[in-house]
Structure 1
Amino acid sequence: MVDRPTDNSDETAIERMGRRAVPPDPRLVAAETARLSPLAVAGKVAGWVGAAALLVALFWVGITKQMTITPKVLLALGLVAVGFWVVTNITVVVQQVRARGFQAVLSSMLFTLFIIGIVVMINYIAGRHSIFRADWSEAKLGSLHAGSLEIVRSLDQDVTITAFVSPDYYAADHLRRLLREYEIHSSRVKLHMYDTKLALEKVEEYGRPYDGTVFVESGDRKEEVQGGTEEQISSAIMAVTTGQKTTVYFLTGHGELQVDAFGEQGLTVLKRYLENEQYEVKSLSLATEKEPRVPDDCAVLAIVGARQKPMEHEMKAISSYLSEGGNLWLALASPPAPDFAELLTPHGVRPLEGFVMDPARSLQGNPQVPAVLQPEGHDIVNGLTMVALPTVMAFEIDAPEPAMPGAPPPAGRPQVLLESTASAWLETSTSGPIGQDPDRRMGPLAMAVALDLSSASEPPPYPGAPEPPVDDSGGRIVAIGDFDFVRDDLYQAGLQSNVFLATSSIGWLARSERLITIPPHEPPDRTMVLATTQKNLAILISAVFIPVLVLLTGLFVWWRRR
């Protein structure tokens, strides 16, 4: 038996193997960082400064929308600084580019840019050829109003729009987008846009117009628009295609609101809107005429806030005008002013004594100023947001019954434009507490009505029978139980829809429904009004409760890990 030598050491086989010299894996050993030269350090600093300069230049151009000398200098300095960094650190840059991680990031970025490029090209092609277009904004800020669309789509002759807009014009982008919408929706519209500061020959040809001027031409007719709102451009298109203006006369001499006055007694805002819609606005004084007669070119006669009753021969002239197919816009003043019942009662509308009080729906909680939110049911009020009528009177509609059960109501029936809530009542007391009369008339109450006398024909002989032909020779009447709603000062106070109610009424009376109410597109008001209790609760939650909750959560976590 051979005795093997024994090893008295305590070393194990693994320890003996560890003493062997195993060369390290170069992939697992971090490369020693070489000491950077002063030039390389300066290049690094220049790289950061150049990147910051490029970002500032990009933000500058994105915010101001102008490539002035400042962003140009920043852009040049940024590119030089970044280039200096690349040159002084070329070795490091090459190593980083060759690294596997950079290659993966670069591939991902290129793939992302490729997808974004496809989406951008699809959007560009769709926008250029007017396909797959949709305006998803709540207020439809990027599209034309329905009235403008009807105008451009019904054109039967070519219209040329020439706009002079420079990049320095304050609303250049908005005006270009707006004019582009007209060209997109009609092949009849030809759009030409020129830079006021570069297209000098065209500027001289059009008489050196101001920046932002738009010319609308058709045949030998031309309209000039300064500012370029949708209402003005649509009205100019109507003016050059129709070749005539509709005349609206405002009666004077009885305390009415004046179209040339300002403030509480003025209608200058309404006059401006009507003139923008290609109406010709004139004043009419029948009291000074020996034989009063409404002019033959009067498309609409407006009586706004008459405080004294017209004389008998004036009333005969107005009645004769209505019987001959004239159109009347009547806005009543508060009693003891005349209510013109002799003009309304024969057609089934009777003015009621008293004022409408509506605590359930009013302006700023004042029941004496009833408000109607988003009225509907008639072309005049469709599209309006809110109409407020201070000290408004009510009307009773004497609706004739149908000829037989199941038959439609007789034609020519008055239609309610604005109506109060069921909680409203008619206040007839001029002194003492309001709402105390147990016999008061309750709502809903009609505050504005429209009558189409041209449709006052016989009803069908039996249900399902075809409608008889309508006689268009009759006139139209719009009666509103208030006149203050259209004053200039209320428009300045924010009640723009009141003026749009007036323009829509006149457009319906003059049978110019294509231009009924083209209000400006404005983003919805998201102002949140909090009561005192709600304000205090919001302050308590944000300033006390949330900080204390965060502090207690931190203490709890610290205690658990302690």
Structure 2
Amino acid sequence: MNRTLRRLNGWIFAALVLLGAGAIGYLSAHHDHVADWTYGSRVSMSPETRAVLAKLDGPVDIVSYASPQGDLRQTIAAVMQRYQQAKPDLHLSFVDPQKDPAAMRNLGITVDGELILQYRHREQRLDTLTERSLTDAMERLVRGNDRIVAFVTGDGERRADGDANADLGTFVQQLEHSGMRAVPLNFSQVTAVPDHTDLVVLASPQAALSAGAVKALIDYLGKGGNVLWLADPGNQDPSLQPLADALGVRVLPGELVDASAAATGLKDPRMIVLGDYPLSDITRGFTLTTLFPEVAPLAEVSKQDWQIVPFLRSSPQASTQTLDGSQANALKGPLDFGFALSRLSPSPNKSEQRIVMIGNGDFLSNSYLGNGGNRALGERIFDWLLGDDALINMPPRGAPDRVLMVSQGELNVLSIAYIVVVPLLLLIIGGVIAWRRRRA
């Protein structure tokens, strides 16, 4: 009897195992669940990519001109599967480029596997498939047409294509990946800002602008143009006074110093560190720390038809000093050094005109761009100025989990564990094994 019960129990156990395996197989075939426990979901899809996909509120069609030979199609389909999990109305199809070479030449297809993305009659092309390039292409689809950003040149301004420490080359190169096109604007060669310019950037001119250049900028303002003005301490150029008067703002003399910067490990009090920001469309939800070296304070001096919103402000411990270090007649903080200006646009082509004025240009320079949230703040400023409000709250780019953040106490514990505890544990285990062998 006992033998029969044991056999019956064995058969029941085997049946339950088979039933469980079948249930697992059925569920895995009909339900797909992927979990990524890495910080920022690096091995699946970045938060920025998910945010871009969320901004695409309609179907996206992707056509890949990939040859059926080899495994290129399988590779492309595997990459796109992750995107389709986050956006089910993303459709992928393949076309064999060898079937109609003439049609491929007309389309300009030159690379096996080249992709054409279509969204709301907008189109982007990709010949290299990575998450970064694909996300950039989708961000350009959200943005629409490439935005023309004209950088004033010829008067010692920071260069948009330069690689010197003070230039903006690294930042501008990243902007171009997301759908902005930087062009030079030299008023010795043109008398007005060209039509279809979406934004003019005046980045810390070192020489006085000509009267014609200032008139061209004011005329551009009068037509509803958007402007980013980066002013550094000591650059109170009288030639730009008409532009400042048109905005109702002023660059105050001297520069900001903040003794509380020493608490963050900075020895130079001219380095202004911000972690809190006045509420504005640019800084809403922004919590990253930014660094601004050598800042000129700004002030609203007259009431115009502009709505002026401060979005960069020093701490109460800050004050001004002259460029030679004197604090005579110093102004006490908090002091504003970043203004966002807006008004109803005089142009019938857009509803709102936007200006940003900042008393520092170094925070976007090649030297300081990588500090904290400088790059992310710069991207928000450009998105706001260009009217791409849907992109302002995008998560910052990067892979933060590449850095291991450990406190000094945790580092001490790890050091003791690996230097003392682990070797001691190995010695104990070795001694126990040797003792047992001797007894045997």
TM-score, normalised to structure 2's length? 0.72
Task: Identify the residue that residue 343 of structure 1 maps to in structure 2.
Answer: 243
* 8 Å CA contact 1:412, 1:452 repeated in 2: yes
- Paired residue secondary structure (2:273): strand
Task: Identify the residue that residue 356 of structure 2 maps to in structure 1.
Answer: 478
The answer to whether structure 1 residue 232 and structure 2 residue 232 are counterparts is: no
1:520 pairs, out of 394, 397, 402, with: 397
Q: Structure 1, residues 11-57: CA drift from partner, whole Å, max 9, x if none?
A: xxxxxxxxxxxxxxx98xxxxxxxxxxxxxxxxxxxxxxxxxxxxxx
- Alpha-carbon distance in 1 for matches of 2:187, 2:398: 40
2:365 pairs, out of 487, 510, 523, with: 487
| Per-residue deviation, 1:216 | 1.6
Pairwise mapping of residues 102-501 of structure 1 onto structure 2 (< 5 A)?
Answer: 103=11, 106-107=14-15, 109-114=17-22, 116-117=24-25, 119-121=27-29, 123-124=31-32, 139=40, 141=45, 144-150=49-55, 152-153=56-57, 155=58, 159-163=60-64, 175-177=79-81, 179-180=83-84, 183-184=87-88, 186=89, 189-192=90-93, 201=99, 206=104, 209-210=110-111, 213-217=114-118, 222-228=123-129, 229-238=133-142, 244-289=145-190, 292-336=191-235, 338=237, 340=240, 342-352=242-252, 353-357=254-258, 358-359=260-261, 367-373=269-275, 377-382=279-284, 384=286, 385-397=288-300, 412-428=306-322, 430-431=324-325, 437=327, 440-454=330-344, 475-491=353-369, 494-495=370-371, 497-501=373-377
Q: Structure 1, residues 152-202: CA drift from partner, whole Å, max 9, x if none?
A: 21x5xx652124688579986884245425742x4xx532257xxx98648
Moved more, 520-529 or 500-509: 520-529
| Per-residue deviation, 1:310 | 0.6
- Alpha-carbon distance in 1 for matches of 2:74, 2:319: 50
- Alpha-carbon distance in 2 for matches of 1:169, 1:423: 60
- Paired residue secondary structure (2:31): helix
Structure 2: segments with no counterpart, 5+ residues? 429-440
Q: Structure 1, residues 213-248: CA drift from partner, whole Å, max 9, x if none?
A: 421246986431244535422244257xx5x43322
Q: Which has the higher contact order (CA 8 A, sep 6+)?
A: 2
Aligned-residue Cα RMSD (Å) equals: 4.7
1:507 pairs, out of 367, 383, 406, with: 383
- Alpha-carbon distance in 2 for matches of 1:283, 1:230: 28
* 8 Å CA contact 1:427, 1:440 repeated in 2: yes
* 8 Å CA contact 1:421, 1:444 repeated in 2: yes
Moved more, 203-212 or 311-320: 203-212
Structure 1: segments with no counterpart, 5+ residues? 1-25, 28-97, 128-132, 401-409, 457-469, 553-562
Q: Kindly, what percent of the aligned residue pairs are identical?
A: 20
* 8 Å CA contact 2:158, 2:167 repeated in 1: yes
| Per-residue deviation, 1:363 | 7.7
Pairwise mapping of residues 19-168 of structure 1 onto structure 2 (< 5 A)?
Answer: 103=11, 106-107=14-15, 109-114=17-22, 116-117=24-25, 119-121=27-29, 123-124=31-32, 139=40, 141=45, 144-150=49-55, 152-153=56-57, 155=58, 159-163=60-64
- Paired residue secondary structure (2:165): helix
* 8 Å CA contact 2:52, 2:135 repeated in 1: no
| Per-residue deviation, 1:331 | 1.3
TM-score, normalised to structure 1's length? 0.59
Residues 503 and 399 of structure 1: is their aligned pair in 2 closer, same or farther, counting only changes over 3 Å? same
- Alpha-carbon distance in 2 for matches of 1:106, 1:521: 50
- Alpha-carbon distance in 2 for matches of 1:169, 1:265: 45
| Per-residue deviation, 1:380 | 2.6
| Per-residue deviation, 1:262 | 2.1
Aligned pairs, how many? 408
| Max Rg structure | 1
| Per-residue deviation, 1:267 | 3.1
- Alpha-carbon distance in 1 for matches of 2:324, 2:206: 18
| Per-residue deviation, 1:255 | 0.7
- Paired residue secondary structure (1:359): helix
Moved more, 323-332 or 266-275: 266-275
- Paired residue secondary structure (2:229): strand
Moved more, 342-351 or 212-221: 212-221
Task: Identify the residue that residue 433 of structure 2 maps to in structure 1.
Answer: none
Higher strand proportion = 2
- Alpha-carbon distance in 2 for matches of 1:535, 1:420: 34
Q: Structure 1, residues 53-105: CA drift from partner, whole Å, max 9, x if none?
A: xxxxxxxxxxxxxxxxxxxxxxxxxxxxxxxxxxxxxxxxxxxxx96786565
- Alpha-carbon distance in 2 for matches of 1:528, 1:288: 52
- Alpha-carbon distance in 1 for matches of 2:314, 2:389: 26
Residues 272 and 398 of structure 1: is their aligned pair in 2 closer, same or farther, counting only changes over 3 Å? same
Q: Structure 1, residues 511-560: CA drift from partner, whole Å, max 9, x if none?
A: 232344754363446522555x87556534664579889999xxxxxxxx
- Alpha-carbon distance in 2 for matches of 1:496, 1:178: 30
| Per-residue deviation, 1:479 | 1.0
